[in-house]
Amino acid sequence: MYNLLKGKKGIIFGALDENSIAWKTAERVHEEGGTFVLTNAPIAMRMGQIKALAEKTGSEIVPADATNLDDLQNLVEKSMEILGGKIDFVLHSIGMSVNVRKGKHYTEQNYDFTTKGWDVSAVSFHKVMQTLHKNDAMNEWGSIVALTYMAAQRTFPDYNDMADNKAYLESIARSFGYFYGKDKKVRVNTISQSPTPTTAGQGVKGFDGFIAYADMMSPLGNASAAECADYTITLFSDLTKKVTMQNLYHDGGFSNTGVSNEVMEKFMK
C-alpha cells in the first residue's frame, strides 16, 4: 500500500456488509493508514455485520440516524473525541426508496414514502455537512464524498424516485461544496458509480439487467465495489486537493458511450 491516508481521521456512513462500497472503502482506508468511526442507522446495524468490520479495522461504532440532527450532533462530537481531533474525510454511502421497496410505480408514488426516501438518500447529506460545518469539525483540505448513480442524468425506468434523490444529492454537493470550500477549504464531491451488486442495489427491479447492459456498454467494463473504494481513497488523499463540487463518473466509460458493438450485436440478431 501507499500510506495515502496516514494520520488522517474520518467517518464512514453506510457499511452494511462485505458487499457494500462503504465496507470496501473502510477496509482500504485502514490499509492506507487512516482511522475512522463507523456509523449507520440502528435498524441497518441490526441487519448487517458492522461489528465484524469494526473489529477487523480497529474502529469504534457510533450509531446514528443520518436524518436526525441530534444523532448527527452526537456522532460528530463522539467521533472527534474518539479520533482525538478534527476530521479529514467523510463518506456518505446512504440511500433507500420506500416506493421501490413497496413496489410503487414512479407514476403512482406514495408521497410519504417519497419524502422518507428523499430525506434518507439526499437531505441527509446536507444535514451531515451542516452539522460538521457548525461544529467546525473538518480540517482544512478535508474531503467529503457521497455515492450517486447516473440515473440522476438519464432515465432508468425501474430506478424510480431514487433517480430524483440522486439528482438532489448531486446538487447539494455542488451548493454546499461552494460554501465549504470558501469557508474551510473542504472539498465536496460525488462519485457516480457503475451499477454494483450491493445489498441495497439488488433491491431495484431488473437490477441484473442493469448490470449486464452497463457492462456491455462500458469499454472498460463495470467498476466493482473494491475499485470504487480505491477511487474514493484518492479523493480522501492530498493528491486531489483542488478537486471539488464535481460529479465524478466511475463507470468504465459508460457515461460517454452512445452504443457499443456488443449491444448492437444483441439488436442485430
- Look-up of cell digits 451548493: 175
94, containing H or E segment = none
Question: Which residue ranges in the chain fall short of pLDDT 50?
Answer: none
How confident is the model at residue 43, as a pLDDT? 81
* pLDDT score for 267: 82
Give the Å distances, CA to CA, from 233 to 13, 174, 239. Answer: 15, 20, 10
**Residues 6 or more apart in contact with residue 92 via CB below 8 angstroms:** 13, 14, 66, 124, 125, 128, 144, 145, 146, 147
Which of 207, 203, 211, 176 lies closest to 190, judged by CA? 176
* CA–CA dist 133, 127 (Å, integer): 10
Grid coordinates standing for 171? 446538487
Of 2, 106, 111, 159, the catalytic one is 159
pLDDT of residue 47: 74
Domains, the chain: 9-268 (3.40.50.720)
Query: What is residue 93's predicted lDDT score, i.e. its pLDDT?
Result: 98
Would residue 2 show up in a list of annotated catalytic residues for this protein? no
Task: Read off the amino acid at residue 35.
Answer: T
Q: Which cell numbers hold the place of 103?
A: 413496489
Per-residue pLDDT at 266: 83
Alpha-carbon distance 146 to 124, whole Å? 11
One-letter amino acid for residue 181 of the chain = G
- The CA R_g of the chain, rounded to the nearest whole Å, is 18
Task: State the pTM of this model.
Answer: 0.96
Relative orientation angle of helices 50-57 and 21-31, to the nearest 10 degrees: 10
Which helix or strand (DSSP H or E) is residue 190 part of? strand 187-193
Beta partners for residue 193, in sequence order: 250
Query: Binding-site residues for NAD(+), please?
Result: 14, 20-21, 94, 166
Instruction: Name beta bridge partners: 187.
Output: 143
**In this predicted model, what pLDDT tens digit does every residue of 6-18 receive, in sequence order?**
999 999 999 999 9
Q: What single DSSP character describes residue 121?
A: I
Catalytic status, residue 149: yes
Burial 137-153 (b: 16+ CB within 10 A, else e): bbbeebbbbbbbbbbbe
Annotated binding site: 14, 20-21, 94, 166
Catalytic-labelled residue, pool 106, 111, 149, 231: 149
The residue type at 194: S
